[in-house]
Amino acid sequence: MNVWIAIGLTVAGCYLAKLLGLLVPAGVLERPLVQRMAALLPVALLAALTAQQTFGDGQQLVLDARAAGLGAAALALVLRAPFLVVVGAGVLVTAGVRALA
C-alpha cells in the first residue's frame, strides 16, 4: 500500500510540474534566479542520489563492489561512451568484483 501511495503522489506531482510549465504565462517562471535554481536543483539531487546509492546500505555507509562499478561508469563517461555503455560498465564491473570477492 505504501508503494502505491508513493506512486500516486509521484504521478500527480510530476504531471502537474510538466503541465504547469505549459499553462502559466511566460515571465512568471522566467526570472534568472528561478531559472538558475531550477537548473541547479537536479545537480544537487542527482549527486546526492549517486552517493547514497553507491555508499549507502540502509543507514550505514559501506564501501563495496558498487564503488568499483561507479568508478567504471565514471571512466566510461570520461571516454564519452553512450548512455547504455556507461550503465553497462557499472553493472558488469560490480558483478565482476562481487564474483571475485
Partner 1 sequence: MAEQTAPPESTGTPGARSAGPPGPAAADRPDKPDAAVVRDALGVGIAVGLSGFAFGVTSAGSGLSLLQTCVLSLLVFTGASQFALVGALAAGGNPYTAAAGAFFLGVRNAFYGLRLSQLLAFPRAVRPFAAHWVIDETTAVTLPQPTRRAARIGFTVTGLTLYVLWNLTTLVGALGAEALGDTDAWGLDAASPAVFLALLAPMLKSTVERVTAGLAVVLALTLLPVLPAGVPVLLSALAAPVVLFLSGRTKPGATPQDPEDTPATRRGKTARQEKEERHS
Contact set for partner 1, span 36-65 (CB under 8 A): 36-56, 58-61, 65
Binding mask 16-35 for partner 1 (x = CB under 8 A): -xxxxxxxx-xx-xx-xx-x
Helix, coil or strand: residue 29: coil
Query: Is residue 75 near partner 1 by the rule CB under 8 A?
Result: no
Residue 79 sits in the site that holds partner 1 (CB under 8 A)? no
User: Virtual CA dihedral for 62, 63, 65, 70, nearest 10 degrees?
Assistant: 110
CB of 91 to partner 1, least distance (A): 4
Handedness of CA 60, 63, 68, 71 (dihedral sign): positive
101 binds partner 1 (CB under 8 A): no
Please tell me whether residue 91 binds partner 1 under the rule CB under 8 A. yes
Does 83 participate in binding partner 1 (rule CB under 8 A)? yes
Residue 72 CB partners (closer than 8 Å, separation 6+): 89, 90, 92, 93
